Amino acid sequence: MKQFYFLLAGLITVATMNAQVDIELDENAPWEGFMNVFETDCTSFVFNSGWGVGDLQTVVDTKAGTITLQPNYNTYENAINSGDQGEIDFWTDGMGGGNKCMDASTLVPDNSLLGQELTFSGFVESNTLDGAYEVFAFIKVFNADFSAVKTETAELVAGQNFEVVFTDLDGEFDANVQYGFTVIGINANRDNEDALGSVVLSAPALSVEDNNLVQIEAFPNPATSSFNLKANEPIQSVAIFNILGQQVLNETPNRSNVVINVSSLQEGQYLARVATPSGVQTIKLVKR
């Protein structure tokens, strides 16, 4: 009996240490910014520093429940506005473009996650980011002095959930945990903001199993002036995005039958992010 008891205790300890923690994208989390700056080859290191989230050019919209990632604009903009030739030469190429490769991370540091297998997930509302830029979700685990790191990543594909899984636990190495998103590419001129695009992210869309529990109908679809949304539980909010990831409508009806007036919207495809007490579901809508 003693042998069985100690074996069982050991199994319980292992199970506890390897507990799986699911992290869903939360726009209200304590997001921070960090920037690694390289020459335009994106390999010759220049410097790194903490960075304001907004200055990275990340927009955290707590009302819409979204996080929008873009190329970095503030370094080019600040250099031009400063009038300092040294700053201008450092940050711009003199021809209307940037002069540094920016590795910009929007992240949440959370060492309470140490010693646990992690899954970080969310939904990609849209991804129109120019192909010259690299973007991904990540989980990073650093050693104590941040001199080494283990990284897991996931692509951000428009209209799909993303999921980053970290299982490489090492009690001697692991000391600092971060999860979030990275955009890598040349700092940009804000005049090109529309052309360079963005990535809009939100909490994970409901799974097939969840969709069986939460039934949301959208009709007529396509529609010319209004969509009717009907659910089997209260619809807390409806946020509608165009294909560029820009929010064009937002309502908080808190009832199960909702009429959304879209007469002011241009013809085309839209994504409606519908939140209920059970979760968030994204529905494709067509305006004619």
Among candidate residues 221, 196, 212, the one with its CA nearest the CA of residue 272? 221
Structure tokens at 4: 């069985």
Query: Can you give the CATH number for the domain in which 88 is found?
Result: 2.60.120
What DSSP letter does each residue of 65-84 carry, written as one string?
Answer: TEEEE----HHHHHHHHH--
Count of structural domains, the chain: 2
Contacts (Cβ under 8 Å, ≥6 apart) of 59 = 66, 67, 68, 70
Query: Can you give the CATH number for the domain in which 240 is found?
Result: 2.60.40.1930
Q: Indicate the residue type of 189.
A: N
Last residue of a domain, one of 202, 235, 267: 202
Average pLDDT for 10-31: 71
- Same-domain check for residues 63 and 178: yes
How far separated are the first and last CA of the chain, in Å rounded? 73
- Same-domain check for residues 195 and 227: no
- Same-domain check for residues 94 and 193: yes
Which residue has better confidence, 285 or 101? 101
- Tell me: the pLDDT tens digits for 95-108? 999 999 999 999 99
Highest-confidence segment of 55-69, 82-96, 212-226: 82-96
pLDDT at site 7 = 37
Q: Could you tell me the residue range of the domain that residue 236 belongs to?
A: 208-287
- Same-domain check for residues 24 and 166: yes
- Same-domain check for residues 190 and 97: yes
- Tell me: the pLDDT tens digits for 32-56? 999 999 999 999 999 999 999 999 9
Q: Where are the alpha helices (DSSP H) in the chain?
A: 2-17, 53-56, 74-82, 85-91, 193-196, 208-213
- Same-domain check for residues 132 and 29: yes
